[in-house]
């Protein structure tokens, strides 16, 4: 029920998110969405029963569903093409750092001051984010609702969007299938409890490294191959992890750390490439494409753990990783072969007057 409250609101509101983000200034959408997150965080402190708690979580998830598409439109509508890549790298870097630092800091602060104070700290950070967004206004940022011509038609699952959606959905499903089961896999294999923390740290370090590495701006780096290459590499790493689980514990410790380091690095590159792909292929409707992609990946995160739980019930960890890696690689290869010709590798540059609403 909690997973449904966290993930499904954004899926159900895909078209609403697309229209709101496309028709209204992205800065306003982000600030209002953060305001909704602030209010729902306050409400969580007073949720008296499970039904109210799940309802508030659903509202908070719905508010957060507007942030990523609005963020994409904010970057593409205010920055030049050559500046967008660095912006996407910095966003990926911030996310990689936050995924590790925020839970650790929150847990430490909650243990010291209590859960209510940790929620208050969260509210302070949300308010700070709203303030920083308001301070980011410049002459390039749109100051009123502007209607984008291409938004009158719904985002269609054809052309460049379908292969990207298939690629990201398969990759996210592969990871989500084992996320909840992975601590159990480690324990059953005989690894110490501290190994999980080490692997999370390695993945985080890889994410930071992948975000810091420069990204080339050639046309071949914004085509379909630029997204599928790191996705297939991620599937290959799953196969390698499956093989590592068959090794003795002590070599496996170090090899798993290296594998997770590469996983974090490749994942960061995939996120950056995905945003570059959206920015180049959907310059006039990046909000709709981003909302559709978000919907597909969140639905995968909701459904995939069920399949992962079934696999881990009847198979060893090694076999589960091998199956997930091989099937994902086959699926990605099939999608790439079938849909490659429908996606242009080189996207014409847009003039600055066409980019700004």
CA distances from 278 to 120, 168, 223, 290 (A): 36, 12, 10, 7
Please state, in angstroms and rounded to a whole number, the distance separating the CA atoms of residues 287 and 151.
9
Identify the three-state secondary structure at position 168: helix
Q: What is the pLDDT of residues 66-121, one digit of tens each?
A: 999 999 999 988 888 888 888 999 999 998 888 888 877 887 887 787 777 788 88
Expressed in percent and rounded to 5, the helix, strand and coil fractions of the chain are 80, 0, 20
Q: What is the pLDDT of residues 237-260, one digit of tens each?
A: 999 999 999 988 888 888 999 999
Please state, in angstroms and rounded to a whole number, the distance separating the CA atoms of residues 118 and 105.
9
Q: Are 174 and 241 in contact (CB under 8 A)?
A: no
Tally Cβ neighbours within 10 Å of residue 125. 16
Which has more pLDDT, 36 or 284? 36
CATH number for the region 154-346 comes to 1.20.1250.20
Considering the entire predicted model, what is its pTM? 0.84
Over residues 274-283, the mean pLDDT reads 89
At 117, phi and psi to the nearest 5? Answer: -70, -35
Instruction: Please give the full DSSP string across 94-117, using - where no structure is assigned.
Output: HHHHHHHHHHHHHHHHHHHH-HHH
Structure letter (DSSP) for residue 220: G
Q: Domain spans of the chain?
A: 2-135, 154-346
Over residues 307-333, the mean pLDDT reads 92
Task: Extract long-range pairs of 18-22: CB within 8 Å, 24+ residues apart.
Answer: 18/69, 18/151, 18/154, 18/155, 18/287, 18/288, 18/291, 18/292, 19/151, 20/66, 21/66, 21/69, 21/70, 21/73, 21/287, 21/290, 21/291, 22/73, 22/148, 22/151, 22/285, 22/287, 22/288
- pLDDT above 70: percentage of residues in the chain: 86
């Amino acid at each position: 029920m909690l997973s449904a409250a966290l993930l499904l609101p954004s899926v159900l509101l895909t078209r609403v998110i697309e229209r709101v983000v496309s028709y209204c200034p992205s800065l306003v959408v982000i600030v209002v969405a953060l305001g909704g997150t602030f209010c729902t965080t306050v409400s969580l402190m007073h949720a008296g029963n499970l039904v109210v708690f799940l309802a508030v979580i659903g509202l908070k998830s719905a508010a957060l569903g507007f942030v990523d598409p609005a963020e994409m439109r904010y970057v593409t509508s205010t920055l030049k093409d050559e500046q967008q890549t660095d912006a996407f790298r910095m966003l990926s870097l911030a996310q990689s750092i936050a995924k590790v630092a925020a839970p650790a800091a929150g847990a430490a602060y909650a243990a010291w001051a209590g859960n209510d104070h940790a929620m208050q700290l969260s509210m302070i950070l949300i308010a700070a984010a709203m303030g920083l967004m308001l301070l980011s206004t410049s002459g390039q940022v749109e100051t009123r609702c502007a209607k984008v011509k291409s938004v009158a038609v719904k985002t269609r699952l054809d052309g460049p969007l379908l292969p990207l959606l298939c690629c990201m959905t398969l990759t996210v499903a592969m990871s989500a299938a084992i996320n909840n089961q992975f601590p159990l896999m480690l324990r059953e294999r005989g690894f110490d409890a501290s190994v999980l923390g080490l692997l999370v740290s390695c993945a985080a370090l890889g994410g930071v490294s992948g975000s810091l590495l420069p990204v080339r701006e050639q046309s071949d780096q914004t085509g379909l191959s630029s997204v599928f290459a790191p996705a297939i590499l991620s599937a290959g790493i799953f196969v390698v992890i499956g093989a590592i689980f068959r090794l003795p514990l002590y070599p496996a410790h170090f090899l798993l750390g290296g594998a997770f380091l590469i996983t974090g690095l490749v994942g960061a590159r995939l996120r950056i490439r995905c945003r570059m792909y959206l920015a180049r292929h959907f310059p006039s409707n990046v909000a709709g494409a981003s909302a559709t992609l978000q919907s597909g990946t969140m639905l995968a995160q909701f459904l995939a753990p069920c399949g992962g739980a079934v696999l881990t019930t009847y198979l060893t960890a090694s076999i589960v990783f091998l199956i997930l890696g091989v099937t994902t690689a086959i699926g990605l290869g099939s999608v790439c072969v079938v849909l490659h010709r429908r996606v242009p590798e080189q996207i014409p540059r847009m003039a600055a007057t066409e980019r700004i609403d």
